[in-house]
Amino acid sequence: MYLADRTWPELGEHVASESLAVVPLGSTEQHGPHLPLATDHLIAEHLAREATDRADVLCTPTVNVGVSPHHRQFHGTMWVDAPAFREYVESLARNLSYHGVDRIVFVNAHGGNTVHLREVGRRLRDDGTAYAIEWMWNDSIPELVDDLFAQNGPHGGPKETAMIQHIAPDLVRDGKLDDARDGGIADLAEADPRKFGARTFYDSIDNTQNGVLGDQTDATAAKGKQLFEAAADQLVQLLDWLDDQPRDALMAKPHVDPQPGSRQ
């Protein structure tokens, strides 16, 4: 159920019996010469809308700009600073709690958002406002991703390429797939991103001149459909599970006995 398409009386009927909501989040950032800057937020929005329609769960509008300063050297990349992102998402979640939502799934498709969404979730849980968790689509189906692609990449690689070929094929520059592979890093090991146990890079351009990793020519719309359907199914199962949990079981546990400051 997409929140923005409903009237307020319709939503009143829904929130009277349901307390779960989904917030899709992504980024607007470079994804190489073959994919649109919208890649991450398109994937998050399509998965969130599909799963919430199937599970009859509330879905908010998508947060399209995330924490992406590590792609700033490439034209068009947009980002917000991490503290501003956390404060915005937390404020949005507290807005949902005002309307009766006490459990939230952040449907995320951008790795740069992950740690910050986890921090927001901890804040909301610690003060008893809501139970909020981050869900990353490819983390839900790692075996399938590995089975489908011989040389995957964490950014602009074949898994994201295949997903966009499936959900928004008109936005894929099919004639640039060879350029994406040859101008980037097909094999992540070749990027040499660590030295003596230290992560020595800060920006994506430090590893790849065109901003992407993996073999994009291995992607197809058919593989994207497999990924999409498998990930959407995982998300539906997560929503069903979360909806069934007692609130007390989700919130922060009390301090073990003896309680601090108590007299024995």
Q: What is the pLDDT of residues 148-204, one digit of tens each?
A: 999 888 899 999 999 999 999 999 999 999 999 999 998 877 777 788 989 888 999
Q: Which residue has the tokens 């924490």?
A: 67
Amino acid at site 60:
T
Q: 45-54, pLDDT tens digit by residue?
A: 999 999 999 9
Q: 96-110, pLDDT tens digit by residue?
A: 999 999 999 999 999
Please tell me the distance from the alpha carbon of residue 113 to that of residue 28, in angstroms, as a whole number.
12
Please tell me the distance from the alpha carbon of residue 101 to that of residue 117, in angstroms, as a whole number.
17
- H/E element, 229: helix 221-244
- What domains can be seen in the chain, in order of their start residue? 3-246 (3.40.50.10310)
Alpha helices in 168-264 (DSSP H): 177-183, 221-244, 247-250
Please tell me the distance from the alpha carbon of residue 172 to that of residue 39, in angstroms, as a whole number.
10
C-alpha 200 chain-centroid distance: 25
* Half-sphere exposure at residue 18, Cβ-oriented, CA atoms within 13 angstroms: 22
